[in-house]
Structure 1
Amino acid sequence: MGASTSPSSVTGPIAEAERITKRYGETVALDGAHITIMPGETHALVGRNGAGKSTLVSILTGLQEPDEGEIRFAGRPAPRLSERNAWRERVACVYQKSTIIPELTVAENLYLNRHDHNGLRLVSWKSMWKKAADLLEAWSVDVDVRLPAKELGVEQRQFVEIARALSFGARFIILDEPTAQLDGAAIARLFDRMRAMREQGVTFLFISHHLQEIYEICDTVTVFRDARHILTAPVMELPRGDLVAAMTGEAAGLQERKARPSVPPDADVILDARGLTDGDLYTGVDLRVRAGEIVGLAGLGGSGKTELAETIAGLRAPREGTVEVAGRRPRAGSVPDSLAAGVGLVPRDRHHQGLIPLMSIADNTTMTVPERLGTAGLVSGRRRDDLAREMITNLAIKTPGPELPVNGLSGGNQQKVVMARALASDPRLLVLITPTAGVDVRSKEFLLAKVEEIAGKGTGVVIASDELDDLRLCDRVLVMFHGRVTTELAAGWHDHEMVAAMEGVELDA
């Protein structure tokens, strides 16, 4: 195996995957799939959950070997799987779930197991700090290298991970859902950084479910569907409708939503929140939600929308104000009290707040309703599995059975499990925080349609999100800016109105 080739000297593809097939038992994860990535481009890889994207990434990064097919970098065959340093010189992946170690400093994360030593074989901290600072400066990453990594925001962690990958010599970086937890301003900064890095010879494979981002940052797009390559095309030559059709196999994407029936003004008040204040997070918020009403909380990161939704759901206690759910006032900051009052929650981060990955689908979907599974604190496995099967059918979760560990599901199906658990208690109030983050187009359609169905049966719904598709089904949307509700938009708003309100911009009359 020869040394890695500089991207600046590469005239052909920087990375190629040809005729890639990968099977897991009877499941075909990739079926003769292929992709070709040219140096200096940002190449999008899109497809529904289960299309084969994650499997391809694991093969492109040397974590798995294909059953059939070939991987090449700059025209040369990929290294053997055991040659980890050779892989790191060619490719790296920055995952949606950070691989940064929180307890270590930024410098230690950048040069983990690559510490400089003095003559006594002790770590030369001064040398490592300088090397780390020089690395970040070279790639215009403004982070203090002595800072504990746990103090970094999501955006800073991503930049540190990209810089760490580049320090090995790789100039081909895979970004897996990098914007899923970023607000609009942070996404803009990420895209600016990507453009600058491209000018310095870095090539990106960009994986995202947000199609508008593909058109903003990518040059080329490849679509996978049902484990196969469907098309590769220049982004600007591919209409959005055609892109969605390629992903779904249907000649339609997210459909225009029919106007929801108006909620009667005398419908029962399900949520009555008054004077909610929590320091600088949010101030003086009043919110009433009636039975069958869907109310949105919109805003960018730092607007307070997420923290407000978490307060309503019982995840945090406000400094001032009260929350009543269906006439009951649960103890502030108490999830059990909120559950007992009739609140169901889909939290912001399914990886850390929504799921226990090694537990089964059955256990994850039923853990909030132990009273339905048996008596005297004893759980009936039959009752649990029966209830789980009912939820699996209701949410169209693709699984061979309720006993499967939830980490064996695709992202969209994992999110359906989180939704199933929220619905298992037949809630009076459903609180959803960024409910379609990191899911594919069809799963997004399904989840939002399910929310409308639930509201149609009389459940009050609060959706906190900056995703416009999430907010379109709301009867009204409260827009927050710097902790205050600044605007209320009725259904039928235009995108430019919503974005302007979220950015704190006043439009001319």
Structure 2
Amino acid sequence: MPPALEARDLVKRYGPTTALDGAHLVIADGEAHALVGRNGAGKSTFVQIVTGLQTPDEGTVSFAGRPAPAVSDRNAWRSSVACVYQHSTIIPSLTVAENVFLNRQRRSNGGLIAWSAVKRESQELLDAWDIPVRAEAMASELSVEQRQMVDIARALSFGARLIILDEPTAQLDARGIERLFSRLRDLQGRGVSVLFISHHLQEIYEICQTVTVFRDARHIVTSPVTALPKSDLIDAMTGEAHIATAADERVSAARPGEPHLLVTGLGRAGEFDDVSLHVQPGEVVGITGSASSGRIELAECIVGLRQQDSGTRTVRGRDVGAGVPAALAAGIGFVPRDRRHEGFVPLLGVGENATMTVPQRFGRFGFIDLRRRDASAHRAIADLSIKATGPEQPVGSLSGGNQQKVVMARALANDPDVLVLMHPTAGVDVRSKQTLMSVVDGVREQGTAVIIVSDELEDLYPCDRVLVMRQGSLVASFDAGWSEHDLVASIEGMEQENV
């Protein structure tokens, strides 16, 4: 049988960025094939190309020996390949049958939807693939696992025999994962091929026959999973094992005594549960994990962007109230994960953006002394090497790196006791990265407690400790001097818990 998927020498560029560089992958008929790699490895771009959402600049794609259809022929793509994403695309307010045949319902001779036929055909499809869901059930009543299986049934209804599963276990419990894997094995037995994308590497050894590793937009290795030891798989993902020597050489500025930040039993339904941690004055603590680990949700709860369901947050012994204003008043500054949508107002100037959290410092009764505000902005521009014509220049006109520096200036404006940085160097140039991370050294020397939340290993080098989250829980802690191999192994669930 020809391969279910054959992608050869794929190249995709976005301006100066090469998202894929000669990548290739072949999935045999009826095979479960894993695709793994760290963030930025090229996995998402590859999926977009083999599902027809993007056209490669170079290279070819074929399904079962036939060239990929034209990008405009969506029905032909749906009959060739289907992608089931981590977050279900099922519409809760519709029935299962309505979801399965959405926008392609059978119609009567009069042009009206033949609902009885839609329900019957949906139930026949569900029964044929042994999916224990009723066609007339409301999608809102389904469990996460059932919605996922309906997603798969809908994909199969187009005639596709290649399914891409993107982080399919992220929202499932252990029993749900076992049931999913059982159904995937059954689908394989019926000739369905699977491309399995997951940050939980242990699962690859349970369900897949072959694994391909991408790194830095390139194909690194393809191997039977039985022939690739777990340590070799991690090395392929990270490159040469690296020791964070910069962290080794730095003397910790952490000070003993009462922690600046104390989090106890913090929980938020469906995102993370019973998380406790502390950060000493002058200490830098990293929090990392995969996309579904709960790290961002935890950080946003600490800074007041999300409301906790349980637990407490204290800064220097004082409880922190709900919401961002209460967090700011308690002495928490933060850089959000998405600077463009959460970090600044594009049409406002550098001065207004950098000082918007402390307007009371520059006037009274709602009036602001612009000279005092601009003097503060000038200091921030100089301290952070912001390339701007002055405080009046709109932040939206700055480069990405300088925009992030303005967001950092705003986070520092209230002289915080606790500074929370979420993906602080995402999308910035090397020099801006150096400037931003040098700020961390400066504030820790002054006694500020710092949390860096990131899945970029370089962001974590300044940390005294790095905490690893998986599936909403803290599972491991690494002191300065960690190796990329060990940290990635913990993030991907390849080691025993060692907290």
The answer, yes or no, to whether TM exceeds 0.5 is: yes
Q: Is it true that 1:89 corresponds to 2:74 in the alignment?
A: no
Distance 2:273 2:45 in 1: 45
Distance 1:214 1:43 in 2: 9
Name the residue aligned to 2:193.
Answer: 203
For each residue in 1:353-402, what CA deviation from the matched residue of structure 2 results, as whole angstroms up to 9, or x when unmatched?
Answer: x6766999989xx999652799778999xx69x87995999xxxxxxx98
| Corresponding residue to 2:411 among 420, 425, 430 | 425
Q: Is it true that 1:74 corresponds to 2:64 in the alignment?
A: yes
Distance 1:69 1:481 in 2: 37
Q: CA separation of 1:356/1:205 partners in 2, compared to 1, >3 Å: closer, same or farther? A: farther
RMSD: 6.0
Distance 1:140 1:125 in 2: 22
Name the residue aligned to 2:356.
Answer: 371
Name the residue aligned to 2:155.
Answer: 165
**TM-score (norm: length of structure 1):** 0.64
Structure 1 unaligned regions, length at least 5: 1-10, 394-400, 407-412, 437-445, 503-509
Q: CA separation of 1:307/1:209 partners in 2, compared to 1, >3 Å: closer, same or farther? A: closer
Structure 2 unaligned regions, length at least 5: 388-394, 425-433, 481-485
C-alpha displacement of 1:281: 11
C-alpha displacement of 1:26: 4.1
Q: CA separation of 1:241/1:281 partners in 2, compared to 1, >3 Å: closer, same or farther? A: closer
Name the residue aligned to 2:391.
Answer: none
Amino acid at match of 2:411: S
Amino acid at match of 2:356: E
Distance 1:327 1:475 in 2: 22
| Corresponding residue to 2:324 among 307, 327, 335 | 335
In 2, are the aligned partners of 1:360 and 1:403 still within 8 Å (CA)?
no
Q: CA separation of 1:489/1:85 partners in 2, compared to 1, >3 Å: closer, same or farther? A: closer
**TM-score (norm: length of structure 2):** 0.65
For each residue in 1:59-97, what CA deviation from the matched residue of structure 2 results, as whole angstroms up to 9, or x when unmatched?
Answer: 211223323332211112222222221211110112345
Q: Is it true that 1:127 corresponds to 2:127 in the alignment?
A: no
In 2, are the aligned partners of 1:244 and 1:253 still within 8 Å (CA)?
no
C-alpha displacement of 1:138: 3.3
Distance 1:283 1:25 in 2: 42
Name the residue aligned to 1:18.
Answer: 8
State the identity %: 47
C-alpha displacement of 1:451: 13
How many residue pairs match? The answer is: 452
Distance 2:385 2:150 in 1: 40
Name the residue aligned to 2:427.
Answer: none
* Secondary structure of residue in 1 paired with 2:356: helix
Q: Is it true that 1:251 corresponds to 2:240 in the alignment?
A: yes
Q: How does 1:138-153 map to 2 (within 5 A)?
A: 138-143=128-133, 145-146=135-136, 148-149=138-139
C-alpha displacement of 1:307: 8.6
Name the residue aligned to 1:224.
Answer: 214
Distance 2:194 2:383 in 1: 41
Deviates more, 1:310-319 or 1:184-193: 310-319
Q: CA separation of 1:62/1:50 partners in 2, compared to 1, >3 Å: closer, same or farther? A: same
Name the larger-Rg structure.
2
For each residue in 1:298-336, what CA deviation from the matched residue of structure 2 results, as whole angstroms up to 9, or x when unmatched?
Answer: 9xxxx9999987665435556887643234444x43222
In 2, are the aligned partners of 1:309 and 1:431 still within 8 Å (CA)?
yes
Q: How does 1:88-487 map to 2 (within 5 A)?
A: 88-143=78-133, 145-146=135-136, 148-149=138-139, 154-182=144-172, 186-248=176-238, 250-252=239-241, 265-266=256-257, 268-272=258-262, 290-291=280-281, 312-315=302-305, 323-330=313-320, 332-343=321-332, 370-371=355-356, 425-426=411-412, 427-429=416-418, 458-460=447-449
In 2, are the aligned partners of 1:360 and 1:404 still within 8 Å (CA)?
no
* Secondary structure of residue in 2 paired with 1:269: coil
